[in-house]
Amino acid sequence: MSEILAVRDLEKTFGSLVAARDITVSIPAEQTVGVIGANGAGKTTFINMITGHLVPSKGTILFENKDITGLPSREITRLGISRSFQVAQIFPTLTVRENMVVAAAIARRGGGMLGAVTTPVHSPAALAEAEATVELFQISRYADTPAGLLPQGVRKLLDIGMAVVGWPRLLLLDEPTSGISIEEKFDLMQVVMSALKTRRITVLFVEHDMEIVGRFADRVLAFYEGTVIADGTPEQTLGDAKVQELITGVKARSAGTSHV
């Protein structure tokens, strides 16, 4: 498989705080990569640098062999990288379909949010893409429901669908199952991952639930204090002694003290 993302010696400092350091990772196309790490380990910082929401202090990021380091997020989105945020970014008073149409229009223009909401967006192509993506994410029966009234799980599906409607080749999901009950998480991820596979999208997803990581990731990166301390199959990374000691708390849990 060809390499889609290559990150070399990436670093991000905020004053004296080193939020990311020495990150070197190569991701082949169509791989599904789980990203784990305790709160403050640097997972979101890593994602924000790839999407252009943060400019790295050092290092390079190549996407499909093009150097995208420090480019504005709009430009990076236009090149084929999309994301969701830890908190869903939707318009609560618009219906599911309308939200998706706006997202489709933004993606088609490669432009910013403002341009899309202040000009007519109902091009037939945007409507068709919105409809197809609503279906792909299995939320057609909510198409006419205002997004603010959706159950949490459906809201997540809409949020991720909106990140996918423009056909990105790389998608970054920051805690897609946060705020979702344990019973609902698996079904939600099943729908999301099967939709992404259908579109052959490479995925990096941040996740705190190790069962979800073990079930859905082909590969797992473990972050600790801004750097990657393990990188391998879920079995390798989750079985790593350092990961168990510093992140998953498997050893601590057997003593009844972990909450991760």
Q: Residues binding Mg ion: what is the number (CB under 5 A)?
A: 2
Q: Kindly tell me which residue out of 40, 70, 112, 148 binds ligand ATP, with binding defined by CB under 6 A.
A: 40
Q: Which is nearer to ligand ATP, 80 or 176 (CB)?
A: 176
Q: How far is the CB of 50 from ligand ATP (least distance, A)?
A: 12
Looking at residues 8 to 37 of the shown chain, list those that interact with ligand ATP (rule: CB under 6 A): 14, 17, 19, 37
Q: Which is nearer to Mg ion, 43 or 155 (CB)?
A: 43
Say whether residue 237 binds ligand ATP (CB under 6 A).
Answer: no
Q: How far is the CB of 128 from ligand ATP (least distance, A)?
A: 36
Say whether residue 44 binds Mg ion (CB under 5 A).
Answer: yes
Q: Kindly tell me which residue out of 5, 21, 43, 202 binds ligand ATP, with binding defined by CB under 6 A.
A: 43
Closest CA to 189 of 211, 162, 166, 164: 211
Q: How far is the CB of 19 from Mg ion (least distance, A)?
A: 11
Distance CA 120, CA 182 (A): 40
Per-residue burial over 159-186, b = 16 or more CB atoms within 10 Å of its CB, e = otherwise = bbbbbbbbebbbbbbbbbbbebeeeebb
Token pair listed for 139: 């939320």
Distance CA 96, CA 141 (A): 10
Q: How far is the CB of 247 from ligand ATP (least distance, A)?
A: 11
Distance CA 228, CA 24 (A): 8
Phi–psi pair at 194, nearest 5 degrees: -70, -35
Q: How far is the CB of 70 from ligand ATP (least distance, A)?
A: 16
Q: Which is nearer to ligand ATP, 134 or 247 (CB)?
A: 247
Say whether residue 179 binds ligand ATP (CB under 6 A).
Answer: no
Closest CA to 61 of 71, 50, 72: 50
Say whether residue 45 binds ligand ATP (CB under 6 A).
Answer: yes
Distance CA 199, CA 115 (A): 27
Q: How far is the CB of 135 from ligand ATP (least distance, A)?
A: 31
String of DSSP letters for 133-163:
HHHHTT-GGGTTSBGGGS-HHHHHHHHHHHH
Q: Which does 83 bind (CB under 5 to 8 A by kind): ligand ATP, Mg ion, none?
A: none
Q: Which is nearer to ligand ATP, 24 or 86 (CB)?
A: 86
Which stretches of the chain bind Mg ion, using CB under 5 A?
43-44
